[in-house]
Structure 1
Amino acid sequence: MWGTIFNPENHFFQGIDRLFTIMALSLLWLGLCLPLVTAGPATAALYYVLVKCLRRREPYPFKNFLECFKLNFKQGFLAGLICLVVGQGAVLLLYLFYQMAVSGNRTAVVLLVACAVLTVALLGYIAVLFPTLSRFQMGLGGLFLLAGRLASAHILTTLGLGLVLILAGVGVWVLPIGALFFPALAWLLISVPLERIFRAEMLRTMELPPEEERPWYLR
Structure 2
Amino acid sequence: MNEKRGYLVGIQTLFDPDNVVWSFLLKVYSLLLAGLLWFLCSLPIITLGPATIALYSYCFAVLDDRESYLFKSFFSTYAKSLKQGIAVTILLLLIGAFLFIDAWFFLNTMPMLFFVVAGLGILVLFPALHLFALMSMQKSSIKDFLKLALYLSIKHPAVTITVLLVVTVWFLSMYALPASLLFSAGPACMLAAMFLRSFYKHIGVYTINNYNKE
Normalised by the size of structure 2, how large is the TM-score? 0.80
Given residue 175 of structure 2, which amino acid in structure 1 is its aligned partner? W
1:69 and 1:129, CA in 2 relative to 1: closer, same or farther beyond 3 A?
same
Residue 98 (structure 2) aligns with? 89
Aligned-residue RMSD, C-alpha: 2.6
Residue 145 (structure 2) aligns with? 143
| Identity level (%) | 25
Moved more, 56-65 or 193-202: 193-202
Residue 124 (structure 1) aligns with? 126
Structure 2 segments unaligned to the other structure (5+ residues):
1-8
Which of 182, 190, 195 in structure 1 is aligned with 2:197? 195
CA offset at residue 201 of structure 1? Answer: 4.2
Residue 73 (structure 1) aligns with? 82
1:50 and 1:162, CA in 2 relative to 1: closer, same or farther beyond 3 A?
same
CA offset at residue 78 of structure 1? Answer: 0.7
CA offset at residue 75 of structure 1? Answer: 0.9
Q: Does residue 1:179 correspond to 2:188, yes or no?
A: no
For residues 146-180 of structure 1, what are the alpha-carbon distances to aligned partners after superposition, in whole Å with 9 as ceiling and x for unaligned?
21122221123223323332332232122112224
Equivalent residue pairs, number: 200
Structure 1 segments unaligned to the other structure (5+ residues):
101-106, 205-213
Which of 43, 60, 69 in structure 1 is aligned with 2:52? 43
1:216 and 1:122, CA in 2 relative to 1: closer, same or farther beyond 3 A?
closer
Q: Secondary structure of the residue that 2:136 maps to in structure 1?
A: helix
CA offset at residue 215 of structure 1? Answer: 4.9
Q: Secondary structure of the residue that 1:23 maps to in structure 2?
A: helix
CA offset at residue 191 of structure 1? Answer: 1.6
For residues 106-162 of structure 1, what are the alpha-carbon distances to aligned partners after superposition, in whole Å with 9 as ceiling and x for unaligned?
x61x55455445534533321200111111211121111121122221123223323
Q: Does residue 1:60 correspond to 2:69, yes or no?
A: yes
CA offset at residue 40 of structure 1? Answer: 0.7
CA offset at residue 23 of structure 1? Answer: 1.4
1:139 and 1:203, CA in 2 relative to 1: closer, same or farther beyond 3 A?
closer
Does the 8 Å contact 1:23/1:181 carry over to 2? yes
Does the 8 Å contact 2:39/2:182 carry over to 1? no
Normalised by the size of structure 1, how large is the TM-score? 0.79
CA offset at residue 6 of structure 1? Answer: 2.6
Q: Greater relative contact order: 1 or 2 (C-alpha under 8 angstroms, separation 6 or more)?
A: 2
Which of 9, 15, 18 in structure 1 is aligned with 2:24? 15
